[in-house]
Amino acid sequence: MMNAAVTTTCFGRRILVLVPHPDDEVVGVCAAIGRAIRDGATVDLAVLSNGVPAREILWPWQRRHHQTLVARRWRECEHVSTAMRTRIALRQDIPTRTLRLHLHSTRAALDELIERLAPDRLWAPAYEGAHQDHDSAAWLASTFVDRLPVFEFAEYSFAGGRRWSNAFFDADRHRAQELLDLSAAEAADKRRLLACYASERKNLHMARLHQEVLRVQPAHDFSRPPHPGKTWYQRFQWVPRHPRVDYTLPEQVCEAIAAVERQTDYQHDDPPDRRRVTDPR
């Protein structure tokens, strides 16, 4: 596959952002979205899960409140979307940590959405091991490189056994990135919008308030984990059982992707420079 539309910048006139969970739009690209909208762009969000673990994952005494937790997360998402002046174009009500089990149906939903909205840019989380749903979203985005320019944004990772936040751990191995230095006003806005996700206040401390970064999505090898060693979501897998810990292995995500690729024509065997681009505007 070759990019049908090519570009030198992540900014366009109509941007579609893949949001694995309500809050990723703020953690990863809050300021970037703000700048795009101020420049006259339309920004649509495809929210790929409700961000809440499945009912059976919760503690027994929490399970009867599962729908309340889900409803709260969606209210937060809608409030933030209104504040950011984005539109929620797709809302998938599936639990967090299960996107890899819904790749085929999600890809079909995104295919229809892209056909209907005709975005000129697609933004998605980087393949960096932050969360298994982020990595699934990265693969989903990669299947559209023949339709429009695909960009990825860094959120957080644990490559090399150290914490990375809003920075690419492999920046030295890939092409140029668009680094956004946030102004004091942008940082204040991001802090305020993160606080709107009160249900996630224990999980959002990793977001940096002084920078965001995007780049053209490299040709990732989704048959392998994003980096050697533990991913971000594996850091606490030594805990015997806790609802906040994801016990999935990166290899399971790779296997789920491979299973869908075997049944479809989404495989990518293109050269790594397939996304080298020039601005169509």
- Asked if residue 81 belongs to a domain, the reply is yes
Query: Which has the closest alpha carbon to 78: 203, 196, 204, 209?
Result: 196
- Asked if residue 104 belongs to a domain, the reply is yes
Q: Return the H-helix or E-strand segment holding 26.
A: helix 24-38
Question: Could you say which DSSP state residue 102 is in?
Answer: G
- Asked if residue 191 belongs to a domain, the reply is yes
Domain limits at 69? 14-263
Dihedrals phi, psi of 47, to nearest 5 degrees: -90, 115
Strands (E), 154-220: 156-157, 164-165, 178-181, 211-216
- Asked if residue 254 belongs to a domain, the reply is yes
Query: How many structural domains is the chain composed of?
Result: 1
- Asked if residue 272 belongs to a domain, the reply is no
What pLDDT does 274 receive?
A: 43
Condensed to tens digits (0 to 9), the pLDDT of residues 4-53 reads 345 679 999 999 999 999 999 999 999 999 999 999 999 999 999 999 99
pLDDT at 94 > cutoff 90 = yes
- Asked if residue 277 belongs to a domain, the reply is no
Q: Return the H-helix or E-strand segment holding 124.
A: strand 121-125
- Asked if residue 6 belongs to a domain, the reply is no
CA–CA–CA angle 277, 183, 73 (5° rounding)? 85
What pLDDT does 153 receive?
A: 98
Condensed to tens digits (0 to 9), the pLDDT of residues 45-74 reads 999 999 999 999 999 999 999 999 999 999
Condensed to tens digits (0 to 9), the pLDDT of residues 126-144 reads 999 999 999 999 999 999 9
pLDDT-derived band at 174 (thresholds 50, 70, 90) equals low
Tokens of 241: 């059982």
- Asked if residue 5 belongs to a domain, the reply is no
Tokens of 274: 């397939």
What value does the mean pLDDT take over residues 95-119? 98
CATH, residue 88: 3.40.50.10320
Condensed to tens digits (0 to 9), the pLDDT of residues 204-262 reads 887 889 999 999 999 999 999 999 999 999 999 999 999 999 999 999 999 999 999 99
